[in-house]
Chain A
Amino acid sequence: MSPPPGVRVAGDSHVGKVRTANEDSLVVDAARGLYAVLDGMGGASAGDLASQTARDAIVDFVVQRRLTMEPRALLEAAIQAGCTAVWNCAQLSRERHGMGTTVVACLLIDATRAVIGHVGDSRAYLLRGGRLQALTRDHTIVEELVDRGLLSPEEAERHPYKNVLSRNLGAKPDTKVDLLDVELRPGDRLLLCSDGLYGYASTEAIQYLLGSGDAPNQVARDLIDLALRGGGGDNVSTLVIEAPPAAPSSTQVVRTSGAVAWWQLRQRFMHVAREGGLADNPICRGLDPEEALDLVGLSLCEAIFHDLEKSTGVNVWTFAQNLAGGWFARSGEWAPLRALMDILVRAARTVVDEIRTLEPSLGFLLDVAVSRALVVAELAIGGLLAERLREVDSDLIQLHAAVMDTIDQPSLDSDDTPKFVDSPTIPFLRPDRPVTNSGINAELVSAIEKTLTIARARTSPRAELLRQILVALETIATDTSGNFASAVLAARELYGVRSVDDAGIMPLFDALDQARIITAASVHQITATDALRAKTLGAISAAHQRLVSAMTGLVLEAVAPFSERLREVQAETVALRDRVAHAEGKRAQLERKFATTIDQSQPWEQRGTTESEW
């Protein structure tokens, strides 16, 4: 059994400033995950013999039985074996009568689980999240009196027999062992110690040193120094076990290793961008190819690197804004910018794919981070496109108003003006454009019917709207007249009475989406040739398209009054703006006149008046 990976353990022991011999013993057996502190007692060298005898017996027991016993039972039996060994040893000589030892032992099962066993007043503490908590209760006479309610904790502290043990290893052939299962979390620290530590150091100071973040060997030494500074009246032993720290978060990995891996492959990025024709893109026209690669390719590569390093999107955002802003300022169109972005995205994907091949987990995290960076670029460009659309819209309104002024425009309120709602909103409804559906035959009709029967069978009975759409699709797809009348009729029936908002419209279009998916899947379930299946899918898709178009027409009709009113309000706004501008001009003119007419050097009451001029 090897020690769990990432677990760090260190122990130290000191004779103290008063005693001449160290009766404490330590067990640090990383191979078996066994750690213990033992504090021996009994005069004439019996104390150190007791702790060493128990230590050896415990270790031997664990070595022999560790593969055949479960951890909790193993530790308990090992401590019992230690007790028996000390008892037997004490029976060999009169001087050794009364010798014994405490023990606090930890059997580490893996990096997240441990069993603690103890007898006597050596203690185990757990430091979690910077807070220290005792895991054991001392087996002393006084502590038992406190447990029975016969003494208060304050009285126990001052009691003359506070160090007299009620249990130890060696007083009897066997003893009762207290056991505790501990679940370890990343970064947790366990401290095993003899009373030479906590008897001469405050809990706060122990907590401070254990939580200092120093390595366990340093902490073990510092704790001993602490006890020595507190008087060092007893042997002092400390053993620090540290659970592995938490794995670094994905963000940390990307910020460090991910950013470096990305930057190391920048030449690959440039190569793919060059091969993709970056320099030939109209946006780079007039630039030397290498200059274009540097200005666009390397800039994005650098921006992504800095954003990965700092977990932000600001550099890619700025890059995309500069690139798109400059292009749009030159009246550039979307298509070349789109093509350029595609080249850059391909180059980025190539780099990420290569990192994924070399280091799958890092490559995966980088893939997410770089994909996110590219979303940021699209977002920045989208903002500029939308702003451009707003500006053109505004120009269009002004131009529209100007055109209205120059031509003899009939009043919008005039009854004989055709309203938007009266005009056909669906061009294909024009009677001069009849459509025939000549390709349909009995075999195809049968296949369509079978497909839609399967589709309906796969639809939940509660999805009423979806079922209605499937029925409508069958009617439209099998309509041999081939015109759009059936689609329009079905759309009107499905549309019914709805509010023109998300709650009214969205379910309709969602159900249409679902109908398309279900029918596309169902067509593979029918028994037919591939050619017939293809025809069936074509016919149903065409029917779906007609239904969607008819439905869109209805929605447009429904929003038409709002559009009309919006147009009127926009026209009124333009007129009002003109009047305000005119009034501003007049005011400025009058102010100039006022300034030249009035003698401002005179006191107010003697300046005269321009009232007649007004």
Chain B
Amino acid sequence: MSTAPPVARAYDTLRPNILQRLLDMRASLDPSLGRLDDAAARAQIGAVLDHLGNFIATGDLGLHRAFLHTFLAMRAAEAQSPAAVLAMLVAIGDTAAQVAQDDGTGELALVLTRVTASTARAINDLIAEELDRRLAQWRELAAREREEAPT
């Protein structure tokens, strides 16, 4: 017998419908997803959905943050801005919640909306940390420039 919480089991049951809805509207989620063929888009969105399932089952914020960190880095390598990544993840979470609501699994819709809120907050934390790092770099470089500048 599965020991996963009922809401996680409900998510697993609904996952194929959520994936299908997301695939159908992937171009509006993110233009780069719209350009992918069905199999590649399925793999990418599927990875996010798998992770959402893990987060719902475990509630492990550390793991969630680690995943988002990797995800941001991967998308940055494709020249996608953090704002676009944030918008895409929020759209995925919101669509998943919508599918749950349409299906009548209201509790899951609420959990998915809260997970989306956690995701948005974690991404904002990560962007802010990156911003701090760059500002520190900027200050260091500015100081170096002042030192090196001919008097």
Asked if B28 is at the interface (CB within 8 A of a chain A CB), the reply is no
A368-B109, A382-B124 are known contacts. Are A389 and B117 too (CB-CB below 8 A)?
no
Asked if B25 is at the interface (CB within 8 A of a chain A CB), the reply is no
In chain A, positions 376-397 with a C-beta closer than 8 Å to chain B are 378-379, 381-383, 385-390, 392-393, 395-396
Task: Note all chain B residues with C-beta closer than 8 A to A509.
Answer: 67, 70
A505-B74, A510-B51 are known contacts. Are A364 and B113 too (CB-CB below 8 A)?
no
- Asked if B90 and A400 make an inter-chain contact with CB atoms under 8 angstroms apart, the answer reads no
A368-B110, A375-B117, A517-B58 are known contacts. Are A396 and B149 too (CB-CB below 8 A)?
no
Interchain CB contact (< 8 A) of A392 among B57, B82, B131: B131
A386-B83, A399-B138, A403-B148 are known contacts. Are A502 and B43 too (CB-CB below 8 A)?
yes
Task: Note all chain B residues with C-beta closer than 8 A to A437.
Answer: none
Interchain CB contact (< 8 A) of B81 among A334, A386, A510: A386
Task: Note all chain A residues with C-beta closer than 8 A to B95.
Answer: none
Task: Note all chain A residues with C-beta closer than 8 A to B58.
Answer: 517
In chain B, positions 41-74 with a C-beta closer than 8 Å to chain A are 43-44, 47, 50-51, 54, 57-58, 60, 63, 66-67, 70, 73-74
User: How long is the Cα–Cα vector from A396 to B109 in the complex, in angstroms?
Assistant: 42
- Asked if A378 and B120 make an inter-chain contact with CB atoms under 8 angstroms apart, the answer reads yes
- Asked if A513 and B110 make an inter-chain contact with CB atoms under 8 angstroms apart, the answer reads no
* B-side interface size class: 35 or more
A545, chain B: closest CB distance, angstroms: 10
- Asked if A389 and B101 make an inter-chain contact with CB atoms under 8 angstroms apart, the answer reads no
A393-B134, A399-B142, A403-B144 are known contacts. Are A379 and B101 too (CB-CB below 8 A)?
no
User: How long is the Cα–Cα vector from A509 to B64 in the complex, in angstroms?
Assistant: 12
- Asked if B77 and A386 make an inter-chain contact with CB atoms under 8 angstroms apart, the answer reads no
Task: Note all chain A residues with C-beta closer than 8 A to B121.
Answer: 338, 378
In chain A, positions 506-563 with a C-beta closer than 8 Å to chain B are 506-507, 509-510, 513-514, 516-517, 548, 555, 559, 562
A382-B82, A503-B43, A513-B54 are known contacts. Are A389 and B113 too (CB-CB below 8 A)?
no
User: How long is the Cα–Cα vector from A513 to B55 in the complex, in angstroms?
Assistant: 10
Asked if B12 is at the interface (CB within 8 A of a chain A CB), the reply is no
Asked if B35 is at the interface (CB within 8 A of a chain A CB), the reply is no
Over the window 17-51 of chain B, the binary record of Cβ atoms lying under 8 Å from chain A Cβ atoms (1 yes, 0 no) is: 00000000000000000000000100110010011
Over the window 401-414 of chain A, the binary record of Cβ atoms lying under 8 Å from chain B Cβ atoms (1 yes, 0 no) is: 01100110000000
- Asked if B128 and A334 make an inter-chain contact with CB atoms under 8 angstroms apart, the answer reads yes
User: How long is the Cα–Cα vector from A393 to B141 in the complex, in angstroms?
Assistant: 12
Interchain CB contact (< 8 A) of B86 among A379, A388, A400: A379
Over the window 119-143 of chain B, the binary record of Cβ atoms lying under 8 Å from chain A Cβ atoms (1 yes, 0 no) is: 0110111011011101101100110
Asked if A17 is at the interface (CB within 8 A of a chain B CB), the reply is no
Of all chain B residues, the one with the shortest Cβ separation from A516 is B63
A368-B97, A502-B43 are known contacts. Are A389 and B141 too (CB-CB below 8 A)?
no
Asked if A374 is at the interface (CB within 8 A of a chain B CB), the reply is yes
Task: Note all chain B residues with C-beta closer than 8 A to A403.
Answer: 141, 144-145, 148
Task: Note all chain A residues with C-beta closer than 8 A to B60.
Answer: 517
- Asked if B123 and A382 make an inter-chain contact with CB atoms under 8 angstroms apart, the answer reads yes
- Asked if B120 and A375 make an inter-chain contact with CB atoms under 8 angstroms apart, the answer reads yes
User: How long is the Cα–Cα vector from A167 to B74 in the complex, in angstroms?
Assistant: 79
Task: Note all chain A residues with C-beta closer than 8 A to B137.
Answer: 396
- Asked if B138 and A385 make an inter-chain contact with CB atoms under 8 angstroms apart, the answer reads no
Task: Note all chain A residues with C-beta closer than 8 A to B144.
Answer: 403
- Asked if A514 and B131 make an inter-chain contact with CB atoms under 8 angstroms apart, the answer reads no
Of all chain A residues, the one with the shortest Cβ separation from B128 is A334
Task: Note all chain B residues with C-beta closer than 8 A to A407.
Answer: 148
Asked if A367 is at the interface (CB within 8 A of a chain B CB), the reply is yes
Asked if A500 is at the interface (CB within 8 A of a chain B CB), the reply is yes
- Asked if A379 and B87 make an inter-chain contact with CB atoms under 8 angstroms apart, the answer reads yes
Asked if A371 is at the interface (CB within 8 A of a chain B CB), the reply is yes
Of all chain B residues, the one with the shortest Cβ separation from A382 is B86
User: How long is the Cα–Cα vector from A393 to B66 in the complex, in angstroms?
Assistant: 23
- Asked if B113 and A368 make an inter-chain contact with CB atoms under 8 angstroms apart, the answer reads yes
A509, chain B: closest CB distance, angstroms: 5
Interchain CB contact (< 8 A) of A400 among B73, B141, B150: B141
- Asked if A402 and B54 make an inter-chain contact with CB atoms under 8 angstroms apart, the answer reads no
Most A CB within 10 A of own CB, among B50, B60, B113, B125: B113
- Asked if A385 and B127 make an inter-chain contact with CB atoms under 8 angstroms apart, the answer reads yes
Asked if A250 is at the interface (CB within 8 A of a chain B CB), the reply is yes
User: How long is the Cα–Cα vector from A392 to B137 in the complex, in angstroms?
Assistant: 10
- Asked if A386 and B82 make an inter-chain contact with CB atoms under 8 angstroms apart, the answer reads yes
- Asked if A364 and B110 make an inter-chain contact with CB atoms under 8 angstroms apart, the answer reads yes
Asked if A372 is at the interface (CB within 8 A of a chain B CB), the reply is yes
A368-B113, A506-B74 are known contacts. Are A389 and B124 too (CB-CB below 8 A)?
no
A579, chain B: closest CB distance, angstroms: 21
User: How long is the Cα–Cα vector from A378 to B118 in the complex, in angstroms?
Assistant: 9
Task: Note all chain B residues with C-beta closer than 8 A to A367.
Answer: 110
Most B CB within 10 A of own CB, among A334, A393, A396, A506: A506
Interface residues of A (CB under 8 A from B): 250, 333-335, 338, 364-365, 367-368, 371-372, 374-375, 378-379, 381-383, 385-390, 392-393, 395-396, 399-400, 402-403, 406-407, 500-503, 505-507, 509-510, 513-514, 516-517, 548, 555, 559, 562
8 residue pairs bridging A and B, Cβ less than 8 Å apart: A364-B110, A385-B124, A389-B130, A392-B135, A505-B74, A513-B66, A513-B67, A562-B77
Which 5 A-B pairs give the minimum distances between C-beta atoms?
A334-B128, A386-B83, A378-B120, A371-B113, A382-B86
Known: A368-B110, A378-B120, A502-B74. 6 other contacts (CB 8 A): A375-B93, A375-B117, A379-B90, A396-B141, A406-B150, A503-B40
